[in-house]
Amino acid sequence: MRCLPFLHGGDAKDDDRRTGPSAGMSASVRSFSTEESTERGDPRSGSDLNSINVSDMSAESIRRTQYPSFTDRPANLRVFTFPELKAATRNFSRSLMVGEGGFGCVYRGVIKGSDDPTERVEIAVKQLNRKGVQA
Ligand SMILES: Nc1ncnc2c1ncn2[C@@H]1O[C@H](COP(=O)(O)OP(=O)(O)OP(=O)(O)O)[C@@H](O)[C@H]1O
């Protein structure tokens, strides 16, 4: 699941969508949980989820998946827990769904600011669909 700044109006696929932290309204997230796995109590840790089974990967695909360590992430990359995203989107309410891509649905949400908890930051949260065509 990933979390992006929520954009008002217009085509969300334009360049504004990729402005990131410099836009002053960003919320980045990297979470691999799904509601399904969380409610089953999936015991995998974040580091487990970052690991890659290379047994059946080609050399080319391995080269393409050389991500930096999750612990080496940029200081301004904010990480959210699944319960936080669930609360922000009112349990992924259909009424807050703003779109759907090949990997899953995108929901509008509101979270507290990282520096000022009274600040309300509008976000877009994509919930990955494991059964989706691309996912
Ligand atoms: N940050 C955002 N703010 C507002 N709406 C968004 C945002 N991100 C996505 N959306 C809405 O959700 C729809 C689907 O977005 P998504 O990123 O899933 O598209 P995609 O790139 O086609 O999907 P995928 O990456 O899963 O193939 C968009 O067309 C848009 O309507």
Ligand 1 atom at shortest distance from the alpha carbon of 132 = 26
pLDDT score for 64: 58
Residue 85 scores a pLDDT above 70: yes
Q: Give the chain as a 3 state SS string.
A: CEEEECCCCCCCCCHHHHCHHHHCCCCCEECCCCHHHHHCCCCCCHHHHHCCCCCCCCHHHHHHCCCCCHHHCCCCCCCCCHHHHHHHCCCCCHHHEEEEECCEEEEEEEEECCCCCCCEEEEEEEEECCCCCCC
Per-domain residue ranges of the chain: 2-52+59-128
Residue 47 scores a pLDDT above 50: no
Mean pLDDT of 41-62: 48
pTM of the model: 0.58
Geometric angle at alpha carbon 113, from 121 and 20, rounded to 5°: 65
Residue 129 scores a pLDDT above 50: yes
Cα 105 to ligand 1 centroid, rounded to whole Å: 8
| Residue numbers belonging to the annotated binding site for ATP | 126
pLDDT score for 8: 62
Looking at per-residue pLDDT, the higher value among 24 and 102 belongs to: 102
Residue 111 scores a pLDDT above 90: yes
Task: pLDDT band for 102, please (50, 70, 90 cuts).
Answer: confident
Q: Report the candidate in 129, 59, 135 with the shortest Cα–Cα distance to residue 92.
A: 129
Probe target for ligand 1 pocket from 98, 103, 108, 134, with the most ligand atoms within 8 Å of CB: 98
Mean pLDDT of 10-35: 40
Task: pLDDT band for 131, please (50, 70, 90 cuts).
Answer: confident
